[in-house]
Amino acid sequence: MIATATAARTDLAEHAAGLRSWLAEYASALDPYRTRRRGSIAVGVEHDRGLMQMLHDAGWGRWGWPVEAGGLGGRVALRAVLYDELATAGVEVPEAYVMLETLASLVVHQAPSLAAQHLPAFLRGSEIWGQGFSEPEAGSDLAHLRTRATPTANGFSLSGQKIWTTLGQFARFAAVLARTGDAGSAHRGLTMLWVDLQAPGVTVRPIVASNGREEFAEMFFEDVTLPASAVIGEINGGWTAAMYLLQYERGMYAWLRQAVLHRRLREAVAAAHVHAAYPGARVGPVAQLAVGRAVHATAMLRARSRRTVERLSEGENPGPEISVDKALLSAAEHAVFDALRLLDWPGMALGNDDRSIVQREEWFYSRAATIFGGAVDVQRDIVAERVLGLPRSR
């Protein structure tokens, strides 16, 4: 029987202490979740469901989510405590939590009936969602997407294609951004829709990333029938919904990732002194310099995303400033995994053991950090123009 955390939580330090105590008490039960599974992402996703169920049943995975949607209430920052303490205890943060932090706050805020119906299943690990934003010819430029939702007597008919959906092949439902206005309506004619990915007319195909894992999927919609209740937010209010989502996708997600990056760096530095898979390898000045840069990058990311999490907990929307978090996250992802590569060279490149293979997979995936969730060059332009007030380049 797993002890539960059901007492009201307002003090973050108290909450962290309680979680730390639980993690220590159930250390042996958590041992299977301390390392990331190599190879097939499907194996890892299914494996993570067990941890999500444990965290749900013990209450820790439900804090920071509203009671009406299956949570235990409390501040948003309680979720940040969970990610930090899991990483510090050497427990892998479930991959599905990436999509939880990307979509769930949006659904809770703008479609509470959908949240009440579906969020409990996600928190238990029995349901995963996908995000349908990018298209083959509209990545960061969402105002030009072409997937269309045509109004019908009872709702909508959805047709089009989405790409680069993280964990899309495992998703049961997806939040899809579609055009409901005329062809020239740009961002003003978009609507966010909740789509059952098992409905007739939906096809989902996995995409193999450069690390060899099927990290993403593409989704095809052919005259998919959607009810009027599928709208998240308002009709033609999809841009507003997307902007609300981005504060969590780039803010709380950045905090989740900094916790993981700190763990990866800490463990790699410790292992560099004892790992002898390739005798003669040494941690030289180049690797030492890379570690210093990685420590600097992750410290900046942690400091910045902590303030963002505090603002989210206070009900504030960081607005365009959230692009700073995304830029810092991209830099930290590259810096940490470049440092890990040098700390375990040439093992990371040539080794066939689980540790080397996982490091290679994560290094390759880190290269995408400057693209997914909004290309970093676009984020820098946003910071320059909308935060610093610099003139638009010509």
Give the pLDDT of residue 282. 59
Phi-psi region of 280 (alpha: psi -120 to 50; beta: other; left: phi over 0): left
According to the model, what pLDDT value does residue 393 have? 67
Placement of tokens 């299977």 in the chain: 32
Mean model confidence pLDDT for the chain: 90
How far apart (Å, rounded) are the C-alpha atoms in residues 133 and 129? 13
Can you list the alpha helix ranges (DSSP code H) found in the chain?
A: 12-25, 27-30, 41-58, 77-88, 97-110, 112-124, 238-250, 252-272, 285-313, 322-343, 347-350, 354-366, 376-382
Report pLDDT for 369: 86
1: pLDDT strictly greater than 50: no
Strands 148-151 and 129-132: unpaired
Nearest alpha-carbon partner for 302 in 375, 339, 251, 338: 251
Domains and CATH numbers, the chain: 12-95 (no CATH), 130-236 (2.40.110.10), 251-387 (1.20.140.10)
What is the token pair recorded at 331? 């830099």
* 4 pLDDT more than 60: no
Long-range CB pairs of 26-31, under 8 A, 24+ apart, other chains included: 26/2, 26/54, 26/58, 27/89, 29/2, 29/54, 30/54, 30/89, 30/91
**Which of 256-260, 282-286, 311-315 shows the lowest per-residue confidence on average (mean pLDDT)?**
282-286
Distance CA 109, CA 327 (A): 26
| Cα angle for residues 367, 372, 375 (degrees, 5° grid) | 90
What is the arithmetic mean of pLDDT over 213-223?
93
Question: How many percent of the chain have pLDDT more than 70?
Answer: 93
pTM: predicted TM-score of the whole model, two decimal places = 0.90
> Mean of the pLDDT values across residues 16-38?
93
pLDDT band at 34 (very low <50, low <70, confident <90, very high): very high
Dist. CA 352–CA 186, nearest whole Å: 49
pLDDT value, residue 40: 79
Mean pLDDT of all residues in 296-320: 94
Q: Which two tokens stand for residue 216?
A: 């993403």
**Mean local confidence (pLDDT), 212-219:** 89
Does pLDDT of 276 surpass 50?
no
Instruction: Kindly tell me the number of DSSP H helices and DSSP E strands found in the chain.
Output: 13, 8
- Higher pLDDT among residues 251 and 334, named by residue: 334
Q: What pLDDT was estimated at residue 280?
A: 47
Cα separations (Å) of 274 from 277, 282, 337, 359?
A: 9, 11, 19, 17
> Cis before residue 66, ω within 30 degrees of 0?
no
Residue 85 confidence class, pLDDT cut points 50, 70, 90: very high
What is the SS3 assignment for 379? helix
Residue 6 has pLDDT above 60, yes or no: no
Segment 80-88 mean pLDDT: 97
